[in-house]
């Protein structure tokens, strides 16, 4: 049986005027280390479109979050 190690979990994100995360929950974002777009399974009835951000918050925690571009909802990929 396959088990997901880092199951995405809904997370509250505050964004700046450009749509980049400014806070994860109550922790302000200190740096955006990287961002990327995943556009996969476009050939299926359930395509996957996500914008990922690798963040560092002011408390020194590394976080990977993504916005599901179909639903507009935010998720934490690991950590939390």
Instruction: Kindly state whether residue 9 falls inside one of the protein's structural domains.
Output: no
Cβ distance 4 to 77 under 8 Å? no
Number of structural domains in the chain: 1
pLDDT tens-place string over residues 24-33: 999 999 999 9
What pLDDT sits at residue 46?
Answer: 85
pLDDT tens-place string over residues 41-54: 888 888 889 999 99
Instruction: Kindly state whether residue 2 falls inside one of the protein's structural domains.
Output: no
Instruction: Kindly state whether residue 57 falls inside one of the protein's structural domains.
Output: yes
Q: Which residues contact 41 (CB under 8 A, 6 or more apart)?
A: 47, 48
Instruction: Kindly state whether residue 1 falls inside one of the protein's structural domains.
Output: no
**In which domain, by residue range, is 25 found?**
14-78
pLDDT tens-place string over residues 32-43: 999 999 998 888
Instruction: Kindly state whether residue 3 falls inside one of the protein's structural domains.
Output: no
Instruction: Kindly state whether residue 74 falls inside one of the protein's structural domains.
Output: yes
Instruction: Kindly state whether residue 31 falls inside one of the protein's structural domains.
Output: yes
What pLDDT sits at residue 41?
Answer: 84
**H helices, E strands: number in the chain:** 0, 7
Cβ distance 75 to 11 under 8 Å? yes
């Amino acid at each position: 049986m396959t088990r997901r190690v880092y199951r995405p979990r809904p997370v509250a994100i505050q964004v700046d005027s450009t749509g980049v995360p400014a806070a994860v929950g109550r922790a302000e974002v200190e740096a955006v280390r990287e961002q990327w777009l995943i556009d996969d399974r476009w050939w299926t009835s359930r395509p996957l479109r996500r914008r990922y951000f690798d963040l560092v918050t002011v408390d020194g925690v590394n976080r990977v979050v993504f916005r599901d571009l179909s639903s507009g909802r935010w998720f934490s990929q690991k950590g939390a």
